[in-house]
Structure 1
Amino acid sequence: MTVRGLARQLVSIPSHDDPTAAESAITEWLQSETDAVVERTEAGVIARRDGGGRCALVGHHDVVPPADEQTDDGAYVVSERGDRLYGRGSADMKGSLAAALCAFRDADSPCTIASFRGEERGGVGARRAIDAGFAPDYAVVVEGSTGYSATGVTDVAIAHKGRRASTIHAHGAAAHASEPESGTNAVYRAADAIDVLQELSPPESGVLGHDLRGRLCVAEIEGGSAWNVVPDSCTITVDERTVPGERADIGRVTEIDGVEWDVEQDLPPMACDDDAFAQAVLDAATEAQTGTPALVTKPHATDAGWLAQAGTTCVVCGAAEPGEAHTDDESVSLPVLERCYRLYRDLLSQIEGGD
């Protein structure tokens, strides 16, 4: 089966609520197209050829919910216009997953491929796999890296930011608004907490000569019950983009009376810790295209963060372009999928060949 044919098949399978059908298709394809040892668990699908080697290609097959126009009678709508494949999950990331699966099949070396579930829910599958012992020396996470240095060029991301989602709870005491001094205004305490957040300097980090700067943003605020009542509670949600190393000291808000801080989600950043591996992937990317790829950074989290945190040396390299994922008209370039296939196949042979 070609990369194009496999991509069309995978994109057509609904996997936003239940990844079972997609996992079955991937498992059956691996069993029919390769001689790999295929393992299917609650983490997803992991396949190893000739012992698995040192390098893994890593993707995911779950997707975000589709728009109405992306479904038809329960199935996902798949179409081609020009040289692009359209459909939910085409960019994020079943297109690159198809390229990786075909490269795994055709590589002339020991290798591993993994497709996890639950990436869109905070890396559930990757974390389960890591807890069960999944620990390749190197991994190429096949999320999007095309179009970062120049339009149409498939780059190699050596770092990405993480995301920490926090909730700040401010507590007070209710009173009639005509006598505000008899209560304690939780909104005022929340405002004091926001002042603290605005004073924080998000950390910066350097990765193989590239700089990443964290970001901090108050995303929501909710408090009060009526126009004539002093509010006794107020909640702030904070979106923080983290970098490898130190975090912003959000905990300072708890120095304010009546203020608590809870972390709801903490997706780790990723930093490649091996310049030689990054260069090897960049060399493979250079050979696979006419453009000149570069080492770049990504602004958002992927499963590479969990793998790197567990000790795997990672990069991110895939077909999707900025702004394509999760859109109502999601698509991926078919020629770039073929490019990624060559890149992954040749890289596996190079890494496992000891070059």
Structure 2
Amino acid sequence: MPPLDLSATSVDITRAICDVPSVSGDETALADLIDAAVRPLPHLEVYRDGDTIVARTDLGRAQRVVIAGHIDTVPINDNVPTRDVVIDDEPFLWGRGTVDMKAGVAVQLKLAAELVDPRVDITWMWYDHEEVDADLNGLTRLARTRPDLFSGDFAILGEPSNGTVEGGCNGTLRALVHTHGVRAHSARAWIGENAIHKAAPILARLAEYRPRSVEVDGLVYREGLNAVSITGGVASNVIPDACRVEVNYRFAPSLTGEQAAAHIRDVFAGFEVEIVDVAPGARPGLDAPLAQEFVAAVGAEPTPKYGWTDVARFAALGVPAVNYGPGDPHLAHHDEERVPLSQIDDVERGLRSWLTSS
């Protein structure tokens, strides 16, 4: 496997790292390439924890910015290697990871190599296992082993944002809503109680639910509550005695995890509700001076981030954070994932200008 050439363009670096498969749990090959590319750079101090690599400047600047991106992707589905496509006269790079979020990682690698004398100290983070359970996330592990590396005055996540600034993020909650019945032979169904049938009111409440739009610090976040799976049944001739509906609640960052859980229990009052995972969101973080400078430099009106991202992790540590990266979030995880080449260049130009302006 050829080494990464960080003197190449951000577009070419994107192409190179997208062509190295790195589905969650299989990031080592790409992490090795990143490590080998940044470790020799004399202006960076490099630390590695598993498949997470951190590179820091130590110039004694008055402020420090953390810029992070995950190197893993969701599973490949015949969309690697990448290829160049043109849609409506616009050139794109097509393939898994181009949007979520290797184009952002490529920009970060390019700038990490070239910004020897930025106006702020920078901590670059490239981490693993973002697309799976939070307890596997490379930043979770890094927070245990080197919490000092998260110190900063502002953070930027290179998550896809169509080249604009997306403030904060929604929280996410997963819950299981259980029903119980009595098993019986399906030929004598009246002897039993069908737990799947008892789930009908759960689905009715979900169908009738009207999610809120909530303004938080000037940005309007759209909530959502949906069934994402139903599990039940024993055999084709048995009345089931148990059923569970898994629901996912995407909630505004004005709610705490406890408040989100209380809302779910209220929606499904009368049913057994098991909260299995909660990740609170992050408020926009746009009132911090560095955030305001950054938004002004990029020159785009901030919008809310509807999905959950690791900006929430930084917000919980008291570090204001935003999302800023190339790619349309609607194409993240899509089999037709593709990023406009112009957005890769624009994001590189925006970050470079802000990080080097006096």
What TM-score bracket applies, with the shorter chain setting the length?
0.7 to 0.9
Q: What is the aligned partner in structure 1 of residue 172 from structure 2?
A: 163
Q: Is the 8 A contact 2:176 2:245 kept in 1?
A: yes
Q: What is the aligned partner in structure 2 of residue 116 from structure 1?
A: 127
- SS of the residue aligned with 1:311? coil
Consecutive unaligned residues in structure 1, runs of 5 or more: 72-76, 147-153, 287-292
Q: What is the aligned partner in structure 2 of residue 138 from structure 1?
A: 154
Provide the C-alpha distance between the structure 1 equivalents of 2:266 and 2:303, rounded to a whole number of angstroms: 33
Q: What is the aligned partner in structure 2 of residue 262 from structure 1?
A: 274
Cα offsets for 1:108-166 (capped at 9, x unmatched): 232111011011114411222233304233111011111xxxxxxx2110122232222
> Aligned residue pairs: how many?
330
1:179, distance to aligned residue in structure 2 (A): 6.2
Cα 1:56–1:212, aligned 2, differ >3 Å: closer, same or farther? same
Q: Is the 8 A contact 1:171 1:233 kept in 2?
A: yes
1:177, distance to aligned residue in structure 2 (A): 5.5
Q: Is the 8 A contact 1:177 1:230 kept in 2?
A: yes
Cα 1:204–1:143, aligned 2, differ >3 Å: closer, same or farther? same
1:227, distance to aligned residue in structure 2 (A): 6.7
1:218 to 209, 227, 252: 227
Provide the C-alpha distance between the structure 1 equivalents of 2:349 and 2:313, rounded to a whole number of angstroms: 26
AA aligned to 1:139 is A
Cα offsets for 1:261-310 (capped at 9, x unmatched): 23333333222234233322222212xxxxxx211012211222222223
Kindly indicate whether residue 284 of structure 2 is the aligned counterpart of residue 280 of structure 1. no
Kindly indicate whether residue 182 of structure 2 is the aligned counterpart of residue 173 of structure 1. yes
Following superposition of structure 1 onto structure 2, how do residues 220-239 of structure 1 map, counting pairs within 5 Å?
220-225=229-234, 229-239=238-248
Following superposition of structure 1 onto structure 2, how do residues 1-355 of structure 1 map, counting pairs within 5 Å?
1=7, 2-16=9-23, 17-42=25-50, 44-50=52-58, 53-68=63-78, 70-71=79-80, 77-82=81-86, 83-107=91-115, 108-109=117-118, 110-123=121-134, 124-132=137-145, 133=147, 134-135=149-150, 136-146=152-162, 154-176=163-185, 182-194=191-203, 205-225=214-234, 229-244=238-253, 245=255, 246-247=259-260, 249-252=263-266, 256=270, 259-275=271-287, 276-286=289-299, 293-349=300-356
1:62, distance to aligned residue in structure 2 (A): 0.5
- SS of the residue aligned with 2:168? strand
AA aligned to 1:128 is R
AA aligned to 2:72 is D
1:334, distance to aligned residue in structure 2 (A): 2.1
- SS of the residue aligned with 1:266? strand
AA aligned to 2:292 is Q
- SS of the residue aligned with 1:281? helix
Provide the C-alpha distance between the structure 2 equivalents of 1:243 and 1:43, rounded to a whole number of angstroms: 32
Q: Could you tell me the TM-score, scaled by structure 1's length?
A: 0.82
1:202, distance to aligned residue in structure 2 (A): 5.0
Provide the C-alpha distance between the structure 2 equivalents of 1:240 and 1:122, rounded to a whole number of angstroms: 16
Provide the C-alpha distance between the structure 2 equivalents of 1:196 and 1:78, rounded to a whole number of angstroms: 43
Cα offsets for 1:208-259 (capped at 9, x unmatched): 2112232111233343446764431111111211221141622247753xx4
Cα 1:35–1:188, aligned 2, differ >3 Å: closer, same or farther? same
Q: Is the 8 A contact 2:154 2:291 kept in 1?
A: no
Q: Is the 8 A contact 2:174 2:277 kept in 1?
A: yes
Provide the C-alpha distance between the structure 2 equivalents of 1:225 and 1:87, rounded to a whole number of angstroms: 40
Provide the C-alpha distance between the structure 1 equivalents of 2:230 and 2:52, rounded to a whole number of angstroms: 37
- SS of the residue aligned with 1:247? helix
Cα 1:231–1:99, aligned 2, differ >3 Å: closer, same or farther? same
AA aligned to 2:216 is V
Q: CA RMSD of the aligned region, Å? A: 2.7
Cα 1:331–1:180, aligned 2, differ >3 Å: closer, same or farther? closer
- SS of the residue aligned with 2:29? helix
Q: Could you tell me the TM-score, scaled by structure 2's length?
A: 0.82
- SS of the residue aligned with 1:115? strand
1:172, distance to aligned residue in structure 2 (A): 1.9
- SS of the residue aligned with 1:143? coil
1:5, distance to aligned residue in structure 2 (A): 2.8
